[in-house]
Chain A
């Protein structure tokens, strides 16, 4: 609850609730409902899912007020499109980036998802790897001097120490953070949230 309050107070534009059981950040529908109701209307409430079934999506959407859906698994463009019409909500599709060639993935989704979230690829050799939230960054220089004709969000291992550089190199207008404002997976630190937001807002203004 305090994490949501810090994000709201710090001027976040989106808050995300993870509905994915293997994740240490997974929350119950009841808790998500409380948090969502606590979040002012001007802030988007994003339900984060990994390869969800229709039933799962409908169940969550019935009990929790969400304004956007984030798909963080291996959903195909067709599936993204289905989920979008199933719930009638805008979609953020996470795309995992390792090298230049992964930018082609974005082309597949850009006309289907409302936003693309560019995240790092999880470490294949680690058994603990999650689809996201592994505190890993990709090489931001892949994005340097590029411009995209769709809305996108920079994600992957961002924290208060590297956020200024990440924004400067990639020229992103939107950033996503989870592990970077935690003491350990699933445990958000309010001070880290506030510091992250302050630094991100400052660099994003570009003045």
Chain B
């Protein structure tokens, strides 16, 4: 499959593994097929932050999903450190509040090619009942909207949101706001532990900008083929 490299490719592959060799092999298989790779807490806490530079060499955009949530100064410093490793997307928890979000955005803008700052609103593993148990009486969608508005006001480039929040967020936030959506399962895959799922086509149609897909690609016996099949449906 031959895709113009400049075309926006919405698929970000989540490297859901702690095995560095497996991760590196995956990345070499996925070059020119996906629009980015996501590195999360699992692999970073096992091998250290310096592995980010190795992955950056692949040329694939890197989504560093460490969900920073701390006092503003600390988060700003963490964003600076992450940005200097050459990542493209960084997540922070919107629950950290407006000042923390502003600090993260300002720290990122110190760089020539600033990474985009994405706010995490409501984790996709949480449902109504889970929210109630942490003292939030709003529905996940209401809460996501509230936090997304806060993030937009603070200058964040977008949010991470669940598939079923895409439409409401797109309607409320306008077109110039990035919606990055995990919990996407191509047709024919089980939902695993993500409680709110959707297909890539549905998600893009509702207004998503990036789709984070893990296991359907990484657990495949032929990850490249799996990724190509997903992308082929979209192009």
Distance in angstroms from A11 CB to nearest chain B CB is: 8
Distance in angstroms from B230 CB to nearest chain A CB is: 14
| Interface residue stretch chosen among A75-83, A116-124, A196-204 | A196-204
Q: Measured between alpha carbons, how far is A165 from B235 in the docked complex, in Å?
A: 9
Q: A161-B235, A164-B235, A207-B178 are in contact. Are A201 and B7 (CB under 8 A)?
A: no
- A168 contacts B by Cβ under 8 Å: yes
Q: Measured between alpha carbons, how far is A119 from B148 in the docked complex, in Å?
A: 40
One digit per residue, 1 when the CB lies within 8 angstroms of any chain A CB and 0 when it does not, for chain B 151-192 equals: 000000110000000000000000111100000000000000
Q: Which of B4, B175, B205, B235 contacts A205 (CB 8 A)?
A: B175
One digit per residue, 1 when the CB lies within 8 angstroms of any chain A CB and 0 when it does not, for chain B 1-44 equals: 00010111010000000000000000000000000000000000
Q: A164-B7, A168-B6, A207-B158 are in contact. Are A199 and B234 (CB under 8 A)?
A: yes
B8 touches A194 (CB 8 A): no
Q: How large is the interface on B (under 10, 10 to 19, 20 to 34, 35 or more residues)?
A: 10 to 19
One digit per residue, 1 when the CB lies within 8 angstroms of any chain B CB and 0 when it does not, for chain A 171-199 equals: 00000000000000000000000110111
- Classify the interface of chain A: helix, strand, loop or mixed: helix
- A206 contacts B by Cβ under 8 Å: yes
One digit per residue, 1 when the CB lies within 8 angstroms of any chain B CB and 0 when it does not, for chain A 158-169 equals: 000100110011
Count chain A CB atoms within 10 A of each CB in B205, B207, B208 and give the residue with the most.
Answer: B205
- Classify the interface of chain B: helix, strand, loop or mixed: loop
- B85 contacts A by Cβ under 8 Å: no
B205 touches A194 (CB 8 A): yes
State how many residues of chain A have any CB contact under 8 Å with chain B.
17
A202 touches B235 (CB 8 A): no
Distance in angstroms from B173 CB to nearest chain A CB is: 11
- B209 contacts A by Cβ under 8 Å: yes
A198 touches B178 (CB 8 A): no
- B204 contacts A by Cβ under 8 Å: yes
**What residues of chain B lie closer than 8 Å to A169, measured between beta carbons?**
4
Q: A10-B205, A207-B178, A207-B209 are in contact. Are A202 and B10 (CB under 8 A)?
A: yes
Which residue in chain A gives the minimum CB-CB distance to B180? A207
Given A10-B205, A207-B8, A207-B209, 13 other A-B residues pairs in contact with their CB atoms under 8 A: A165-B4, A168-B4, A194-B205, A197-B205, A199-B235, A201-B207, A202-B204, A202-B209, A205-B176, A207-B157, A207-B158, A207-B176, A207-B178
Q: List 26 A-B contacts (CB under 8 A).
A: A161-B235, A164-B4, A164-B7, A164-B235, A165-B7, A168-B4, A168-B6, A169-B4, A194-B205, A195-B201, A198-B204, A198-B205, A199-B234, A199-B235, A201-B204, A201-B207, A202-B8, A202-B209, A202-B234, A203-B7, A203-B8, A206-B8, A207-B8, A207-B175, A207-B177, A207-B209
Please give me the 10 A-B residue pairs with the lowest Cβ-Cβ distance, nearest first. Answer: A198-B205, A164-B7, A207-B209, A207-B178, A168-B7, A165-B4, A168-B6, A202-B204, A198-B204, A205-B175
